[in-house]
Amino acid sequence: MTRFNRPPTVRAMALTVMPLFSVACLMPAFAQSQPDSSPPSAQFSSKTGSFVLEAQNFLTENRDKDALIKLSQALSLDNLTAYERSVIYQMQGSAFYNLNALDQSITAFENALTSNGLSAKDRDNTQRQIAQLMIANGRYAEGAKRLDIHLTRSGTDSGKFVEMLMQARVQAKQYDKALPWAHKWFDAAQPQERKHFDILNFLYHSLNQPYKQAEIVRAMIEKWPNDKELWDVWASLFVAAGQDQDAFEVTRLRYLTGAMSGEASLLKVVQYYSYYDMPYQAAQILEAELNAGRIRKTEDTLEQLSSLWRQSREYARTIPVLEEATRISTKSELHAQLGEALYNEGECSRAETAFKRAIDNGYDAAKVWMLIGTCRYEDVQKQEKLTCEMSAQEMENAPISKGRLAAINAFDNVPMQSRQRSDAEKWISFVKAERMTFDKQCEFKAKIRIEKCFKDIERAYEHQFIDGVFKLGDPTCQSFVAAFDKEYRSKDAGRI
């Protein structure tokens, strides 16, 4: 099954989302009164304020190290209020952040919280900032937990924070906790882009939810039908679930919609059709792709095509395929297969040529000569039969007699050491016995004919003795009169 890479790190996202801290947002003026939600004494003393104002100026000028010195001096003052400490720590956290000292920045913001000088709104914002910094610093699980609490409590729908939380959970491999936020991010996306689908695909895969993954992959295929990997994943999900038929349907649909390319993928389609006992359809696809050039014509692919046509009992269609295969290969099996295809089509002469080439290339001579002998014998059955009225010379020269002799010679070529030699001997005996049976039938017919005519001749002689006329009932028996006279009317036989 296809594996998915982990989504990219969220560090860059966290740093992008993390707003630059501005002291002016927290204290527009040192003596200005604060909103009702602010804690008591939300103002600076003149002594503390001077340090803080100077630090703020350094921050504005990007002199973060100088700002940290002033803020450290301010923290060393006696009798600081909770508000003063909280704001100074916030400024310190911002300076450390600007210097990419994230651990120190997190500590400073944590100190701002524990100083208990922030309003509820500022505490909430600071909690979010700490979560972002933790995520940016690779503390994914800890940062995600804080951000989860913040988003759940605040009920915010900000897509950027939802995405960050989801990505942090993924980076922490907390896929089950990432999934609901991924759904929230997916549902809120307008429009839904590939990245939104990819994260659900990844999470369903990681959580071993193949049916959910199959649904999202199918939706992705509808949007990106030419994505080969998506089709492969969809099919592999069914294979993993033992649903081979569904996997085949996916592959078939992909082929029929024209979304499949590449020789390996196309051959997979052919294999699927063959596996599901559809050799005719498999042969059609393979032949079409060979002709289109999307599958190369090699001895293997041509042999595969001929095999599929044979399985489909389309023997005639195997012949041109195998003829092409034998032109580019000397593989003896291909010549033998061509011979068998021609044999099945009753083309014994061409089959014999192919069979002999198979022998020349090292194919089993015994098997080939058995097939040649069988083909010759079957060809004999198509010839005009012998008749008992034919002369011996006519019988000897008849095509059927020559065909029998050729079949006997083929069977006799089966090597003596071969296991098929005994079968060849049986064939030889059978073919010879067939002619012997015919000869005996002719002998029997001739004997019956002679006996019948002799009786007719005997009656004719008896009739002649009575009325002086020799008359045969069957005029054709006249040719046997001399033989009858020799055997029954000669002096040696005691007849007058």
Domains and CATH numbers, the chain: 1-168 (1.25.40.10), 265-363 (1.25.40.10), 396-493 (no CATH)
Mean pLDDT of the chain: 83
- For residues 411 and 424, the answer to whether their CB atoms sit within 8 Å is yes
pLDDT for residue 417 is more than 50:
yes
Extended strands (E) in 98-168: none
Rg of the chain in Å (alpha carbons): 51
Both tokens assigned to 372: 């040649």
- For residues 441 and 388, the answer to whether their CB atoms sit within 8 Å is yes
Highest mean pLDDT out of 10-24, 82-96, 331-345: 82-96
Cα–Cα distance between 494 and 483 in angstroms, integer?
A: 16
What is the per-residue pLDDT for 343? 87
The helix/strand/coil state of 474 is: coil
Going by C-alpha positions, the residue among 344, 400, 345, 343 that lies closest to residue 372 is 343
Write the DSSP symbol of residue 295.
Answer: S
Instruction: Work out the angle at residue 374's Cα, subtended by the Cα atoms of residues 369 and 378, and round it to the nearest 5 degrees.
Output: 150
Instruction: Work out the angle at residue 59's Cα, subtended by the Cα atoms of residues 58 and 60, and round it to the nearest 5 degrees.
Output: 90
The model's pTM: 0.50
Give residue-wise pLDDT tens across range 155-188: 666 668 888 899 999 999 999 999 999 999 999 8
- For residues 83 and 117, the answer to whether their CB atoms sit within 8 Å is yes
Percentage of the chain beyond pLDDT 90 is 35
Give residue-wise pLDDT tens across range 19-75: 434 433 333 333 333 333 445 457 888 888 888 998 999 999 999 999 999 998 989
What is the per-residue pLDDT for 264? 86
User: At how many degrees (to 10) do helices 332-344 and 348-360 cross?
Assistant: 170
Q: Please state the rounded mean pLDDT for residues 465-475.
A: 87
Question: Dihedral sign, CA of 384, 386, 388, 393?
Answer: positive
